[in-house]
Amino acid sequence: MIFLDTSAQGERVFGRRRDEIYALISRQQARTSQYVWEEFRCTYLRDAVLFHRLLSEEGWDVARALERADTYPTPPRSQARIRQVFRRLIQSWAASVDDLRGALENLIEGGLEDRFWSGLDREATLRETDCRHGGPPPRREGPTYRFRPTCTAAKPPPCGIRPFWETHAVELAAVADGAEHLPDDLAKAAETAAAIRTGRGTPHGNNCHKHLSDCVIAAEASPDDHIFTTNLKHFRPICALIGRKLYEPAS
Amino acid sequence: MGVSKEETALAAEPGDEEFGRCVDAVLELIDSGHPLIFAAAQGGFRFEMDESALRQAAERHGVTADRLRVALQDEIPDLSWFPTLKGPATFRELIERADLNAGHLRAAQGEATSRETIVARLSEEFAALADADDPYDRLDALAGFRVAVGSAVTRARARGLRNLGKALMMVRDAVAHLRAEELEAGHLTALEGVLGRLASRDPASDDLREIDRQLLSAGLNWVPVVDIPEDDES
């Protein structure tokens, strides 16, 4: 079965490989996981909500909203996503302010969710982590929306990440011991895995959705799954370490 | 079909002199055969014109260039959405291709255009699309449907029918890039279903989502594609 990670889902919703991915999952059964869905909500959906708020506060002046996005206390990837994904969408849509507002609101109020699940075997969704990172869906508050991811190390929502790593202790150990096989920007993943393994670190909060997120996704996939990701830089070494297969297009 | 001075006189309502002057300025631009460049981008279009011509026309008719630009882009229906015309053209070609007449201009000024008439006109264009067997007819019918649905979005917004505008926007963007040879029975069924739904009642938010799902499941996705940043490793 094809297993779509978050980058593949982003590509399927917005990216230029959309047709390729839709064609693939029309031929082969495909699934994703609760964890990937929550990560998607905490990236694309959250950034759509943030951009909607900035636009609303700036009188729907796109240039000013983008300027503010660059100085907003968000991770660089969020800024890049707002700048490069949503700005480009706007350039495509932007016949008017009404178009822009309507399109963003349609996406926030279910459009992203429907595109995320479209064509997937929902019964086969992997739910082992029982991730609740994103919390409740965006709620309309006046002209904007409120959407705040809820998982922190100090106060995590009730989820299954601790038993998940107990079940996948072999994979956790492989990551913890495999620092020399991982790229530099995954050094923190190995360090975090080691800390969780020895009980020195919590599996929640940033340790989960920042440092080990790719490892969680790879580990939750079945060894028979073919993981479809555009983030080969991270997934190739992780999958090699823990014994998972990547989807590689024939060409 | 072009726009006559007489028609324009009908269009200009008392009390909206500024808009009437904008229409006069547009007519002058039409008569001048001034070239426009259309950029038919994904899901939308923009036209660019010689700024000095725009300013001169505005000045001659006692409106600001910004006011005239707003009238062109947002207030005169059919000018605000024209995805099928590419390359250099003139205002006159634009007006004629958009089948713009005094009725449209009146609608732009907020004269009664009900939800029913908006959807009914769209349904007529859709019927022509569904009936077109010949490839060339189908090409024409698809272009006509695109224009009609773009116009319907503008009218719905002008009437304050916000949900209808949002629903029609999905339809507009979903068909914007559909090529006649790609048009399948499933697309037609989905579009027919959406139009039927819109004709029946004012859609609430849940219905907007249902419309989106209906279009998506038929392969009519209104979200354009973009380049995802290379460093996006979510």
Whether residue B43 lies inside any domain: the answer is yes
Going by their DSSP bridges, the two strands A245-246 and A30-31 should be labelled as unpaired
State which H helix or E strand residue A31 sits in: strand A30-31
Same domain, B159 and B212: yes
Where is the domain boundary, B67, B86, B108?
B108
Is the predicted pLDDT of residue B195 greater than 90, yes or no? yes
Do B169 and A102 lie within an 8 Å CB cutoff?
A: yes
Do A85 and B229 lie within an 8 Å CB cutoff?
A: yes
Reading the block at residue A12, the tokens are 């399927």
Compute the distance between CA of residue A205 and CA of residue A153 in angstroms, rounded to an integer: 4
- Return the residue matching tokens 């070239």: B35
Quick check: A110 contacting B, CB < 8 Å? yes
Contacts of B226 in chain A (CB under 8 A): 14-16, 84-85, 88-89, 92
Beta strand extents in chain A (DSSP E only): 2-4, 30-31, 139-141, 144-146, 226-228, 245-246
Q: Which residue segment(s) compose the domain that B95 sits in?
A: 5-108
- Average pLDDT of chain A to the nearest whole number: 91
- Confidence grade of residue B73 (pLDDT, cut at 50, 70, 90): low
Quick check: A111 contacting B, CB < 8 Å? yes
Do B216 and A93 lie within an 8 Å CB cutoff?
A: no
Is the ipTM higher than 0.85? The answer is no
Quick check: A85 contacting B, CB < 8 Å? yes
Q: Is A178 helix (H, G, I), strand (E, B) or coil?
A: coil
- Mean pLDDT over A136-145 rounds to 90
Same domain, B146 and B176: yes
Q: Which of B43, B157, B223 sits opposite A14 (nearest CB)?
A: B223
Do A43 and B42 lie within an 8 Å CB cutoff?
A: no
Is the predicted pLDDT of residue A35 greater than 80, yes or no? yes
Candidate from A79-88, B81-90, B212-221 with smallest mean pLDDT: B81-90
- Confidence grade of residue B110 (pLDDT, cut at 50, 70, 90): very low
Where is the domain boundary, B108, B123, B152?
B108
Whether residue B224 lies inside any domain: the answer is no
> Looking at per-residue confidence, does A116 or B161 come out higher?
A116
For the stretch B33-60, pLDDT in tens is 666 544 443 334 455 667 788 888 889 9
Domain ranges of chain A: 2-246
Is the predicted pLDDT of residue B136 greater than 50, yes or no? yes
Residue B24 main-chain phi, psi, to 5 deg: -60, -40
Q: Which of B209, B227, B229 sits opposite A110 (nearest CB)?
A: B209
- Mean pLDDT over A134-148 rounds to 91
- Mean pLDDT over A215-233 rounds to 96
Whether residue B141 lies inside any domain: the answer is yes
Same domain, B99 and B120: no
Report which of B132, B123, B143 is spatially closest to residue B78, judged by C-alpha positions: B143
- Find the chain B residues whose C-beta atoms sit closer than 8 A to any C-beta of A: 41-46, 73-74, 80-81, 157, 165-166, 169-170, 173, 205, 208-209, 212-213, 216-217, 221-229, 231-234
Quick check: A80 contacting B, CB < 8 Å? yes
Same domain, B127 and B55: no
Quick check: A209 contacting B, CB < 8 Å? no
Q: Is the model's pTM score more than 0.90?
A: no
- Confidence grade of residue B99 (pLDDT, cut at 50, 70, 90): low
Report which of B208, B212, B209, B118 is spatially closest to residue B174, judged by C-alpha positions: B212
Q: Which residue of A has its CA nearest to B39?
A: A92
